[in-house]
Structure 1
Amino acid sequence: MSLIEQVITLPSNDDTGKFIKAAGYFLHNLHCIYLDSTTFFALPNELFECIFIYLSSTDLVYSFLNISHPRLNALIYRFISRINLSNASNQWLVEYLPHIQSMITAMQLNDYQLDTIFPEISFDKYPKLQCVHVYNIPNNNVKCLSYISLFKTRLSSLKIVMENASSEVSDHSYLTLLQPENCSLEILSLSNLLLDIYHYHIRPLMIKQLTVLNLCRLHDLFLLFEHLPFIEYVKIGVCELNNPEEVYNYDNIISSTSLSKQLHTIDLHISHHCDEYTYKYLELLILRFFISLKYLTLDIVLIGLLDVNRLEKFFKLKQFQFRIQMISSSYFCPLNMATFPTYSHVICYSNSQDNIQTLLSLPNVFDLFDQVSNNIINYRSNINNLIRLTRVKQIKLYDTKCYTIQFFKFIKQTFPNVITLEFFHYCYLADDLINDNNITIDSIRSLYIHASPDYRRIKRLLLLTPNIKNLSASYQTLLKLKNGLQDEDYLLQQICQQIVILRIHSMNKGDEMKSVFINATII
């Protein structure tokens, strides 16, 4: 049977499985190409493209580069012109990269690969390169800084991602990307860099899309908008609201005549508390772009109760997504959910002390939920529909009361894709949960415990999350587990043995835990 006949006769009940199998078959039998090239090139373009979709760009180069065929080369081009090199070995880069450099328009790479890919800090070998994403940049490494000038002057799109989120203000060299001199960038993304723009003189930029996830203060947000006259898309996170010595005049931006008239998307995440004064100007800022604005995302924390009528104007946008946490020093009166329009689903839930209320628009777009307590079961909604928050990947629990079996049933049903569960300060479990091992949350892969539960509770938590691979707990908690573990606890032993990363909150190295977590790397 010829190659094409074997591919065509693959099982067709699952199209995705068929394509993957076909791709694997082609690679495994690649020598057949030379023996049956007429048949091979008789395959339709659509089948080639389906195969290429399921292969990485580096695998495509490795498998098909030496086949000199104009039609095949044309088909492959769009799959390798945007290439991910982050997993490529140094040998692959040396052997294969020179053959495709002239085709590449966009690439992803890791910081340690910069010298190999751009040995002369030049784009001479990459005449079509317009987009570069650099990942895993060590916070104390200056290598990437030597490429900043090249990236700024030659690229139209640049993404910089540091290895870890920094708690210190970043090197001002990265802020040169926010200077207009010789800057060709239209799209810029900076992640895990804590940026202090207030003390760095910036001037109007040509950037059209900007993502900056760690601004030092709200003042920096307003300054950026002042100097982005052509911005179309902006996603900004503000991690602190520390006031600088100089007081920012918010009226500057409200009266500015140079604000963008093309801004269609605003995505704001402000983690520290906004008072009525700062929220007022944030609201006025957004309204300045209302003529062109279509999409608005707000993830903010407010001091005091928000008059929900102030949100009414934002519902007129094409899309308005929000999570608004409102904090009070005392008990909150429940919000009137009938205030919200029925064409937009909104829920409200409170924390364990009933002094924080969270308003959330659905469908949810946020992957992290914080301050989750038993009270979330009693959420209120403007529409009488069950909720299912499939986007959520991480949940941080905080409650001074016992977590019940009803609570974890709700978590399992409402957050089907959550993979990280984190307990803060308290880890009380109700007797009904401890005595019933039937409820499990199989999606959880990482469990963080910032508390000191006794043996019964740590045992139940592990049985609750039978598929975890990462565990973080105190030395005292793990010692209770080790000392209480019985020979007949087969399932518990199996869960401990499948853990690959064990983080211990202690100065003690925890080497004795190896007898329980035999496959884990202890950190």
Structure 2
Amino acid sequence: MSDRYLRLESLSNELFYLIFVYSSSSDIIYSFSGLNYRFDALIYPYKCIIDLSHITAFIRDSILPQIYDTIEELKLDGKQLSHIIPSSTTTTIRDICHNLTSLSIINIEKNSHYLPYLNLFKQFLILKLYFINQAFISKKKLDTISSTLFSSNSVVETLFIDGLTFCIDKRKITPCHSLKHLTIDVLYQDDMFILLNQLPSIEYLKIFIRDGTAADDYYDYENTYPILQHLKEFILSSKHTICYDQIEPLLLHCPSLNNLSLNLNLDQYISAKKLEKLIKISKLDFHLRMPEMRKKTIDTYVNKFKTSTWLNHPVIFYSFLINSCLRSLPFKEYYLHVSNQIVEYLSNISDISLYKEQHKTKIIWLHDMLLTYELIQFIKLNFPKLRELSLMACRFDQSLMDDINFKMESVHHVFMRRYNLDFKYFKKLLLMMPNIKELRAKSGVLLSVVDQFMEDEELRPICKQIEKIIIDEYQEALDKNIDNEMKRVFPNAFVDKTKTGKSH
């Protein structure tokens, strides 16, 4: 044992740092703490930032006493809250960990007992809360959370809240002068305005408006818009329609704004002249979904973006389902939803492929029942960084079926979201993806083609290279043999049945 220990200690610090890269901070502390002065010095940085969210109670209780004096950032699971912070009113973690400034809590459940801790939470400079199963949280609880965190006696500077949608009651919140960085979802457009009126020091904002404009929206947009003197970066998105005319004064009264990203569903057309007011912002990105425009007016609309003012601001205009889309280039979104209509795009530049290497899109969702050759070619040409293709259906036009040499080499993941599938299209899809590693589909779809896959020699090499099969809507009573059946077809694949229920 002594020789082994000496050989371990003879390793250089650089080798230990390399080992630490592959370990969690909790494992490092548990394994190396207290051995000697050298190891205590090596692991000191890992005692400052620690994640306890995925460790056993035994390791957690062993580690905590060792980090009280050093810990600055802590991450834990919502179920651990009462174990790590025994009381929200008497002896708290802030009393013990004097240097702790950042707290992250994941998997906070709807009925968990987190409310008593809110007054403690607002004592941290950085607070990140990740809620789950929050669809039916009561308004009373939401009011309690917002009134506590958005208050004049909060010291939180960075607040990140995920999985919770807020209705903001202006009677429940007070000016929060400490808050500088905020990520939050709100129910309606007026909730955002009510909240922003109480954030005079805000510098970074990421807001998602879930339900657009409320039917009983009585907010005085003309006379009561916030003036955010310190706001530098604003990321605003909406799921349903909001009113740009009401949003615009807010955007124009942020004198320090230098980074603006808009991903909005709008109830009106936005002209080039209107958008020109935003061009002075150094980093401007927008994806605007507007009511469908008549074909006769589209050329005139796009030509307004071909002026000298827009010379250095390329845009693309295309139809998507029932909307007309206007967006800046390059594409900044990780996800992109498209249909066959995008191949008929118009732009204020002659060649949009000039920006293909700058697009950040890695996942594309296709929404048509029949996919055209032109669409698939467009995707391959313009999105070389594409890694995942998600299909509403798996039917291709004859031109695509006839081209046996067409390949999409960049795609590694394929997700099919429909219940029925013709084998010839399934086969074509896989043959187009020579580097596919992961396939996701519903159990019924996969089981329906097992025998045809087994008989097809051309598909065998593709099936062997697939490393993971993800089964959607798996039902144990009906799909008892699916593991064996999948192994017959995809012998080297791990079968994941955890993603059950509704598909994304």
Cα 1:165–1:459 shift into 2, 3 Å:
farther
- 1:217 Cα deviation from its structure 2 partner: 0.6
Identify the range of structure 1 (178-187 vs 262-271) with the bigger mean alpha-carbon deviation.
178-187
Farther off after superposition, 174-183 or 123-132: 174-183
Question: Aligned to 1:115, what secondary structure does the other structure show?
Answer: helix
* Correspondence 1:390-405 to 2 at 5 A: 390-399=359-368, 401-404=370-373
Q: Is 1:279 aligned to 2:247, yes or no?
A: no
Shift of 1:417: 4.1
After superposition, what is the alpha-carbon deviation per residue over 1:363-385, rounded to whole angstroms, capped at 9, x for unaligned? x3321212343524756353742
Q: CA deviation at 1:234?
A: 1.1
Matched, 1:494 2:471: no
* Structure 1 SS opposite 2:356: coil
Residue in 1 that maps onto 2:491: none
- What residue in structure 2 maps to residue 8 of structure 1? none
**What is the RMSD of the two structures over their aligned residues, measured on CA atoms?**
3.6
Amino acid aligned to 1:286: L
DSSP-derived class of the 2:261 partner: strand
| Alignment partner of 1:373 is 2:340 | yes
Residue 338 of structure 2 aligns to a residue whose secondary structure is: strand
Q: Distance in 1 between matches of 2:98 and 2:472?
A: 46
2:120 matched residue in structure 1:
150
% of aligned pairs identical? 22
Distance 2:15 2:481 in 1: 55
**Who is 2:285 aligned against?**
321
Letter aligned with residue 258 of structure 2: K
1:516 aligns to what SS in structure 2? helix
* Aligned residue identity for 1:520: V
Alignment partner for residue 131 of structure 1, among 94, 97, 102? Answer: 102
Q: 1:286 to 1:151 in 2, by over 3 A?
A: same
Amino acid at match of 2:155: S
Out of 321, 329, 353, the residue aligned to residue 361 of structure 1 is 329
Aligned 8 A contact 1:323 1:358 in 2? yes
Q: What corresponds to 2:490 in structure 1?
A: none
Supply the AA of the counterpart residue of 2:423: Y
Relative distance call for 1:51 and 1:339 in structure 2 (3 A) is farther
Q: Which structure 1 segments of 5+ residues have no match?
A: 1-28
Matches within 5 A, 1:112-261: 112-121=79-88, 122-123=92-93, 124-138=95-109, 140-152=110-122, 154-163=123-132, 166=135, 171-172=141-142, 173-180=144-151, 182-198=153-169, 201-245=172-216, 247-254=218-225, 259-261=227-229
Alpha carbons 1:493, 1:516 under 8 Å: kept? no
Residue in 2 that maps onto 1:443: 411
Question: Could you tell me whether the CA contact under 8 Å between 1:497 and 1:516 is conserved in 2?
Answer: no
After TM superposition, list the pairs within 5 Å mapping 1:329-478 onto structure 2.
330-331=294-295, 333-334=298-299, 335-336=302-303, 337-339=305-307, 341=309, 344-351=312-319, 355-362=323-330, 364-373=331-340, 375-376=342-343, 378=345, 380-382=347-349, 384=351, 385-388=354-357, 390-399=359-368, 401-404=370-373, 406-424=374-392, 426-435=393-402, 436=404, 439-450=407-418, 452-465=420-433, 467-473=436-442, 475=444, 477-478=445-446
The question of whether the paired residues in 1 share the 8 Å contact of 2:437 and 2:466 is answered with no
Q: Which amino acid aligns with 2:76?
A: L
Deviations 1:272-306 (A, max 9, x none): 123xxx211201011111x2222211111223432
CA distance, structure 1, for counterparts of residue 171 and residue 462 of structure 2? 55
Quote the residue 1:100 is aligned against: 67
2:495 is the counterpart of 1:520: yes
Q: Distance in 2 between matches of 1:212 and 1:31?
A: 53
Query: Partner of 1:102: helix, strand, or coil?
Result: coil
**1: CA distance between counterparts of 2:381 and 2:485?**
31
d(CA) in 2 for partners of 1:409, 1:440: 9
Map of 1:263 onto structure 2: 231
Contact 2:329 2:355 in 1 (8 A): no
> Against the structure 1 CA distance between its residues 51 and 484, is the aligned structure 2 distance closer, same or farther, given a 3 Å change threshold?
closer
Mean Cα displacement is larger for which, 291-300 or 452-461?
Answer: 452-461
What amino acid does structure 1 have at the position aligned with 2:495?
A
- Structure 1 residues 310, 437: closer, same or farther in 2, change over 3 A? same
TM-score by length of 1: 0.79
Residues 298, 132 of structure 1: alpha-carbon distance in 2 compared, 3 angstrom cutoff: same
Contact 1:469 1:498 in 2 (8 A): yes
Give 1:13's aligned residue.
none
Q: Is the 8 A contact 1:514 1:520 kept in 2?
A: yes
Q: Relative to 1, partners in 2 of residues 1:218 and 1:93: Cα closer, same or farther, differing over 3 Å?
A: same
CA distance in 1, matches of 2:30, 2:377: 48
Counterpart residue identity of residue 460, structure 1:
K
> What is the SS of the residue equivalent to 1:520?
strand
Partners of 2:177 and 2:2 in 1: how far apart?
48
Contact 1:84 1:107 in 2 (8 A): yes
Deviation at 1:235, TM superposition (A): 0.9
Please say which of residues 392-401 and 376-385 is displaced more in the overlay: 376-385
The aligned counterpart of 1:503 is 472
Q: Are the structure 2 counterparts of residues 89 and 413 from structure 1 closer, same or farther at C-alpha, using a change threshold of 3 Å?
A: farther
In 2, Cα distance between equivalents of 1:316 and 1:371: 30
Q: Distance in 2 between matches of 1:260 and 1:150?
A: 28
Counterpart selection for 2:76 from 89, 92, 109: 109
Which moved further from structure 2: 369-378 or 208-217? Answer: 369-378
Cα drift, residue 167 of structure 1: 7.2
CA distance in structure 1 between the aligned counterparts of 2:11 and 2:323, rounded to whole angstroms = 68
User: Structure 2: any 5+ residue segments left out of the alignment?
Assistant: 488-493
Over 3 Å counting, the alpha-carbon distance change for 1:354 and 1:495 in structure 2 is farther
Partner of 2:270: 306
In structure 2, do the counterparts of structure 1 residues 320 and 161 end up closer, same or farther at CA, with 3 Å as the change threshold? same
1:313 is displaced (CA, Å) by 2.8
Separation in 2, partners of 1:56, 1:511: 37
Would the aligned equivalents of 2:289 and 2:323 in 1 still touch at CA under 8 Å?
no
Change (3 A) 1:192 1:416: farther
* Alignment partners' CA distance in 2, 1:115 and 1:494: 48
Give the Cα–Cα distance (whole angstroms) in 2 for the partners of residues 507 and 63 of structure 1: 40
Provide the rounded CA distance (Å) in 1 between the counterparts of 2:466 and 2:154: 53
Counterpart residue number, 1:7: none
Post-superposition Cα deviations, 1:73-114, rounded to whole Å, max 9, x if no partner, equal: 455433431222333333321222321222111122222332
> Which one-letter code corresponds to 1:68 in the other structure?
N
Report the TM-score when normalising by structure 2: 0.81
